[in-house]
Amino acid sequence: MQPNDSQAQPYPTSGPMAHGDQPAYGQAWPPQGVAQPGPYGHQQPPPYAQQPPPYAQQPPPYLQAPPPYLQQTDAARVVKLQKGRRDIAFGVVWLVAGLLITGITMGSSSPVYIVAWGPMLYGLYKIIKGTVAISANKE
């Protein structure tokens, strides 16, 4: 016995089927007029003849200007430049102090001398830190 066309209920035509809906027994799959999902459930891409969307022609607004938290005022640049110069000055003082302590103890008549490598390394660190701060401030 075959169902009449009037008795057969095809898929709903008002919209896509809800998730989990199944066609009636013996009905064709997929239903006519419903967008067919592509592989992995994604919708098929539009045909190649369509125009690209308008946003693809201009860079997005977030790429046009740096974000506000990266923008520096002139006062902040001056402060960073002064801090870099101060770091270099203190680094030179620590390096010279370490060299003087080492030189004085080596030049004395004592058989024991001190190599003050701690102050020398700290001085080099401060000099490099100040130089990097100044060079980053110029960009």
Q: What is the CA radius of gyration of the chain?
A: 38
- Categorize the per-residue pLDDT at 71 as very low, low, confident or very high, splitting at 50, 70 and 90: confident
Asked if residue 109 is part of any domain, the answer here is: yes
Q: What mean pLDDT, rounded, does the chain reach?
A: 76
Average pLDDT, integer, range 18-30: 62
Asked if residue 44 is part of any domain, the answer here is: no
Asked if residue 88 is part of any domain, the answer here is: yes
Asked if residue 45 is part of any domain, the answer here is: no
Assess contact for 133 and 87: CB atoms under 8 A. yes
Q: How far apart are alpha carbons 3 and 11 in whole angstroms?
A: 15
Model pLDDT for residues 73-114, shown as the tens digit of each residue: 888 889 999 999 999 999 999 999 999 999 999 999 888 889
Asked if residue 91 is part of any domain, the answer here is: yes
> How many independent structural domains does the chain possess?
1
Q: Which is nearest to 95 in space by CA: 70, 125, 51?
A: 125
Q: How far apart are alpha carbons 90 and 123 in whole angstroms?
A: 7
Asked if residue 121 is part of any domain, the answer here is: yes
Structure tokens at 60: 């997005």
43 forms bridges with which residues in the sheet? 37
Asked if residue 116 is part of any domain, the answer here is: yes
Asked if residue 82 is part of any domain, the answer here is: yes
Range of the domain at 131: 75-138
